[in-house]
Each structure stands twice: as structure tokens, then as C-alpha cells.
Amino acid sequence: MEKLTAIIPAGNEIHNIEEVIKSVSFADEILVVDSLSSDGTFEKAQELATKVIRRDYEYSASQKNWAIPQAKYEWILLVDADERVTPELQKEIQSVLKEPKPDVVAYWIGRMNHFMGERVNYSGWKNDSVIRLFKRDFCVYQDKQVHAEIIADGRVERLKHKLYHNTYITFDKYLEKMNRYAWWQAKDYDKKTGKLSPYHFIIKPFWGFFKHYIVQGGFRDGVVGLAIGYIQGYVIFMRYIKLWLLRKNRH
């Protein structure tokens, strides 16, 4: 069987770090990438992980691309602190590593998303997938501030089982996170957005809400779906407000 390094990026994740490390305990190396946490995450990770490395946080892709070459083993399973590897997914990963396909360098893994204590079945999150099992020397993250995905130099397949994912702590904390994302997205969108207009501030946020809540069936998720739709529209609006501020050097 091929050996496996599990990489866990973490910043002030004391509420998650024990459980996420436990969920990847089958890995041959557990490498925690700590973003100079101040809440005890670093100390707890040192107790439980194989190795802990530290670096000031710039943005997600930068942090992950810095950590990946430091993995001891070729096969990497990257798991965010708010995710868990289920027993079913563990068995599938171990099966893949027992007899790896020579031309496959990475695998898509679906996510079972939860928000405000409820499973999200629609709202644009239904088919959420990420590349998280991959070969170290054949994969790199896109250089984007937000929502960067793996660029794989080779064939990519899909695993059947999913990661458990719960990014929600409290509604206020989630909005804080979305505000940070809006700042990062503003930097990404500055390169590809022309002159800002009412289209960016009115139509695009409305469409963001409409797409998630109506087109993608968010109304079927009840209050949770309504909240997700609202937040998606809000984040789009804030993205362009912050891009406007960025261009005027008022950020």
C-alpha cells in the first residue's frame, strides 16, 4: 500500500483540531499547517500530529502550495479543519492506495455540507466536490485568493464517498468569514472586471440570491436555504463594494 500524508491547514481552530486529526489518524503522516494561531490550536496540534509547521497566513492557495512540498509521502490527503473523513471514505481511500492506478494523479471528493445545524441538500451545494486526494509532485493549487482548485498534471477520477463538511460556528462568525472572502474576491476580480456599474451592485447580487434560492432549489432547504441564498447575494454585493474601495485606495 502507498503511504499517505494528511495535510490539515488550520488557523485558530481549537474547536475543530482534535476531531479533524482523529478523522485522518489512518494516515502515515499528519502534517498540520498552522497560521500562527493564538487560541491553543498550535499546542494541541503538536500533541496529536506527526509534524506541525507554522507560517503567517496570506491566502488559502498560498498556504497550501507552501505546505504540499513538505509532505513526506507522495500521496496527499488535504482536509480542512472544518471537514471530517468518514469511515466509509477512509476505507475507499485505503483501497485506492492499495492498488493505485498508474495514470491517475488525483481524485475528486464530494462534500456533505451542513449549515446552521442542518444538512444542506440543495442551495447550490448539492454537487459540491473538491480535489483532495492527489500526488504531491503532479498537483498545485491555482494562484487565486479564494476558491482555488487543484491543477492536476494527469488524469483525475472521482471517489464515491464524501467528506463531512460543517463550516458553520455561529451566524455572526460565518458573516465575518464571508466578509473576509469578499475582500479576497475583490482582489481576484480586479483583474477581470471592467468599469463598475449598477449591473455589479444590483443585478449580480439579485441573481446570486435567485440562483441559489430558486434555480438551485434552496427553497427546498427551508430557512437554511433562505439564509444561504441571502448570504450569497450579500457576498456578491460586498465583493464589488470592496472592489470599488480597493480601486480608490480606501481599503
pTM for this predicted structure: 0.92
CA distances (Å), 164 to each of 20, 36, 95, 232, in order?
Answer: 10, 26, 19, 21
| 3, 26 Cβ separation under 8 angstroms | no
Kindly give the pairing relationship between strand 29-34 and strand 4-10: parallel
Q: For each of the chain's 251 residues, which pLDDT tens digit applies?
A: 999 999 999 999 999 999 999 999 999 999 999 999 999 999 999 999 999 999 999 999 999 999 999 999 999 999 999 999 999 999 999 999 999 999 999 999 999 999 999 999 999 998 899 999 999 999 999 999 988 999 999 999 999 999 999 989 899 989 999 999 999 999 999 999 999 999 999 999 999 999 999 999 999 999 999 999 999 999 999 999 999 999 999 87
CA distances (Å), 173 to each of 53, 64, 162, 231, 236, in order?
Answer: 26, 23, 25, 13, 18
Distance CA 183, CA 185 (A): 5
Distance CA 122, CA 183 (A): 26
